[in-house]
Structure 1
């Protein structure tokens, strides 16, 4: 295992300099493998979800470097790719392997998406990143801008985008099956959150580099919960504001993908939120948010509701709607579509009793990972490239922002300004702990 310690000077040499509050890294030209050649890929974060991403990319491409702060959790992945160089610190890996890799996969916790992604893209490396894209709206915007500037092939880990049922749902909306859509309810039926305070501070496992796991976020000592498990790692970080984005960040990109795609949504102009009393440290067990999207040349204005709500929103009971696996309700001038990742149904049932679905016009995906690897080799952009998934990720995080800020705001996407709510700014931008100021907002 390569040493995890690198000097501040070495880190800055890797990430380049910055000034005036903007990332000023080089504009390295992306490397392009021929369509019949394999990419050389480095993977950062290879336990948990990272293991699945590694398998998805590793089926067709060369895995040349692997990095994880937890040697034990990453052990099986290391064993599967014995020829790949192994690292604990991604900065060391990217510095060592800069001229040997074409693309990078980032599958770390939310709070550590931004730094490795920005370094890799500054080097001109194509990027696959887990959802949500980053930990704050500002981080997402910076990543989106850099990917476009350096003309990189990107893909956000919204793999359900490739499911055929989602294609059919989008076709129904875009072909006008339920008329003009004005409102959408989207939800995750979950009560996860508020995992409780750690009960005991203990030394971290010898196989875990805790300082690197914390990375740019607020430092907390390693601790365990009532079950004797890590209070933050390997999973409960998701429900702590300093490291995760709650169930909204966990599921929002997947579920809101359906209305974003079907209705060609980008940036909202109004954000509102409600829910239980805010806990300054931990994400809630339930919350409701809403977003107003302006009309465009294809449709009228849209009101999109997102909620973390066990059993879904009240409107389902009010209208007597039920469908296993549903997570989106589209309301149109001619009817309603209730859908999820693997099911869909039109209402009122009598109205659509003899309905004939439109001819398929969304092509099947060649495979979610293959979309990205093909794009890296000069093919068409992947379906969840950052130009599409950036605005979606920002919207997801704006919901959290409004909830944490205590009230809604008018949103100016061009300047990242929450008008009418000065409290929101602290949640829109990022503050990094000492030693991680390669980037600044």
Structure 2
């Protein structure tokens, strides 16, 4: 972006308060972005999902590319030859500070927070892949940092821009299915115990292993960890729960206004607590990896006029009772709001489509007016918001609490007993020793 300092300052000042959402400004103002203005974008992680994320913002100015696995980054390096190349995102942020307006973070889960927070502290807008973080504590820091530095953020659960998600939320909010006191989220993927390798093959010359580890405790390189397979290791990934949870819970989380649990009531005392009960059952407990299957129960308190609700999560082929389907066949994947009159259901992992159940009762049903915006895409929505035009639907003010809830499920397996979690303090109340599972100590030299 040419001479972006003035415009960037304007954009930062236009994002207001702890909600972290952009207030719409008149795009005709002299400081507003014109249609042909482009952002300076840098990407941390440019293969896999990083390649997809880059492809969706390729109309902007790609100024920096960072990846610790050079051979996997070649495709991006060749497509964006004008971009400067790095292995260490910290160096990229230092050297290109004046050229960067926004940053993509598409790395393994364990480095999402350190890269995103470093960028936000410099006033850069951030698009970060899901789950937003690997730990509960990191999710809270991400949300707080985004609000403090007034940057535009978006978590990469791209189904958020779909008709399925937005229409489902509108229908639920209009009372179409009645009061909801139970909800279910299930998906077929599972994991399994992991055994740490004992052999130590040499680090390939194209991999910066120490940088790939980032804040994780040191361990020797092994192809059992990367690429891709890192998801199954607790040190680096979040298992099936983290991988798909922020996609498949989308309708449920939004329709039930679960984000309200993280917003203190100004009319109440500062000593207020908002407590979620969490309990997990799993095929096994493994310190290195994630279970083959999990069932997690969340007891969610009231949110305003909405009553308490039981939210039930299932992985690895576990499913709710078929009666919740109201006569329709059970599916491999599902997200279901079980209302007193009917149900809203999606069989898509990304919640991009939905049905009202029982289907036969809703033939020809049109429903209430549409109230939510329909962006061209999840990425376009973020880019437009970065330029002062509109808001993001999956900002870190939403993605942070959503990730926090998901990672509480992963932590619950290790904790091994029911616990009470206070969303306002970020602490487990009835089992203080269990708080150790909400974060992991970083290696020396790494911090948020």
Per the normalisation by structure 1, the TM-score is: 0.86
Distance, in Å, in 2 between the alignment partners of 1:38 and 1:29 is: 14
Identify the match of residue 278 of structure 1 among 255, 278, 285.
285
Identify the match of residue 245 of structure 2 among 252, 257, 261.
252
Q: Tell me the residue number matched to 2:265.
A: none
Runs of at least 5 residues in structure 2 that lack an aligned partner in the other structure: 1-8, 14-30, 262-274
Q: Tell me the residue number matched to 1:328.
A: 335
Runs of at least 5 residues in structure 1 that lack an aligned partner in the other structure: 1-26, 224-229
Distance apart, 1:395 and its partner CA: 0.5
Distance apart, 1:423 and its partner CA: 3.6
Return 423-432 or 194-203, whichever deviates more. 194-203
Tell me the alpha carbon deviations over residues 142-165 of structure 1, each in whole angstroms, 9 at most, x when there is no partner: 111111011100000010111112
Identify the match of residue 432 of structure 2 among 422, 428, 431.
422
Give the SS at the match of 2:56.
Answer: helix
Q: CA RMSD in A?
A: 2.3
Return 297-306 or 387-396, whichever deviates more. 297-306
Q: Does 1:301 align with 2:308?
A: yes
Distance, in Å, in 2 between the alignment partners of 1:188 and 1:326 is: 4
Identify the match of residue 290 of structure 1 among 297, 304, 308.
297
Q: Does 1:112 align with 2:111?
A: yes
Q: Tell me the residue number matched to 1:8.
A: none
Q: Conserved in 1, the CA contact under 8 Å of 2:165 and 2:250?
A: no
Distance apart, 1:355 and its partner CA: 4.0
Return 310-319 or 140-149, whichever deviates more. 310-319
Q: Conserved in 1, the CA contact under 8 Å of 2:77 and 2:85?
A: yes
Q: Does 1:90 align with 2:89?
A: yes
Q: Conserved in 2, the CA contact under 8 Å of 1:67 and 1:89?
A: yes
Distance apart, 1:193 and its partner CA: 3.5
Identify the match of residue 240 of structure 1 among 202, 219, 233.
233
Tell me the alpha carbon deviations over residues 93-144 of structure 1, each in whole angstroms, 9 at most, x when there is no partner: 1111111111111111000011111111111111111111112111111111
Distance, in Å, in 2 between the alignment partners of 1:175 and 1:49 is: 36
Distance apart, 1:353 and its partner CA: 4.9
Q: Conserved in 1, the CA contact under 8 Å of 2:326 and 2:358?
A: no
Distance, in Å, in 2 between the alignment partners of 1:404 and 1:28 is: 46
Distance, in Å, in 2 between the alignment partners of 1:305 and 1:317 is: 12
Tell me the alpha carbon deviations over residues 342-371 of structure 1, each in whole angstroms, 9 at most, x when there is no partner: 443333345445644333333312211111
How many correspondences in the alignment? 405
Q: Tell me the residue number matched to 1:49.
A: 49
Identify the match of residue 433 of structure 1 among 435, 439, 443.
443
Tell me the alpha carbon deviations over residues 65-116 of structure 1, each in whole angstroms, 9 at most, x when there is no partner: 0000000011101100000000011111111111111111111100001111
Q: Tell me the residue number matched to 2:379.
A: 369
Distance, in Å, in 1 between the alignment partners of 2:332 and 2:387 is: 36
Distance, in Å, in 2 between the alignment partners of 1:65 and 1:425 is: 38
Distance, in Å, in 1 between the alignment partners of 2:362 and 2:441 is: 52
Q: Does 1:261 align with 2:254?
A: yes
Distance, in Å, in 2 between the alignment partners of 1:126 and 1:377 is: 10
Distance, in Å, in 1 between the alignment partners of 2:328 and 2:151 is: 43
Distance, in Å, in 2 between the alignment partners of 1:161 and 1:387 is: 14
Per the normalisation by structure 2, the TM-score is: 0.85
Return 40-49 or 368-377, whichever deviates more. 368-377
Give the SS at the match of 2:278.
Answer: strand
Cα pair distance change 1:124/1:416, threshold 3 Å: same
